[in-house]
Structure 1
Amino acid sequence: MPSLNDSRPGTTVRITGIDPGQAGGSRRRLLEFGFVPGADVTVIARGATGGLLVGLGDARVALDSRTAGRLRWGR
């Protein structure tokens, strides 16, 4: 399954899960932000170091590339 890092700016994907290798506290934090299975996420921009700015509902969230790589999606 592709990760959020594989998405281009302007695309919307549906989260299918978080990589099980994610540490418990960070995983919980992502779930609290709303990165839950079934959530639609729009990639707004990619930073120079590989991080992403994504839209999740009405919020905009910046993710580093390591965290974005742990979020799995499907269409």
Structure 2
Amino acid sequence: MDLSRIDPADIPVHVGLILDGNGRWANARGLPRTAGHLAGEEALFDTVEGALEIGISWLTAFTFSTENW
């Protein structure tokens, strides 16, 4: 990504993420739910790296819900 094209004024200080659908993603592909969770983990790591790269100061990830039990 060409970071020189990003206006620093457009970069938010805090971004919140709600991780949802990893199990459904896996089920739709005939994979075990754990495969979806692994794919979600990889996507989260990519997102964290990108946030650090562009200078986002705070990143909040909601990753767990009792509604999943």
Higher helix share: 2
TM-score where L is the length of structure 2: 0.28
Larger radius of gyration: 2
